[in-house]
Amino acid sequence: MTSNTKHESTTLKSFHDFIERLQARNIHYDLSIDTPRTIRVLVYVPGERWEVEFPEDSEPEIEVYVSRAGVESGILNELFDRFSE
């Protein structure tokens, strides 16, 4: 078994273990493939969203987004203004 194949096997096991942990806790998630060599797991928990990427050739990459409580309804216009032409 080559070093790269061994790492891919470890990455696949990490991915599988992560999915099992989510399912055991009844945590909602979606899977996405943005590049041919990376699986992204979008995890939704109250007040947070996690993006966990499992590239085939490196360790998982994790980003956590936390919601801001008490945001005013007018923020929607501000958000759209920031991302319009």
pLDDT in tens, 17-39: 999 999 999 999 999 998 889 99
**pTM for this model (two decimals):** 0.75
* CA distance linking residue 10 with residue 69, whole number of Å: 38
Tell me: the pLDDT tens digits for 4-16?
555 566 788 899 9
Q: Which two tokens stand for residue 51?
A: 């993006």
By C-alpha distance, which of 31, 37, 34 is closest to 18? Answer: 31
Domain residue ranges in the chain = 3-82
CA distance to 3, 33, 75, 76, 78, per residue, from 81 (Å): 49, 29, 10, 9, 5
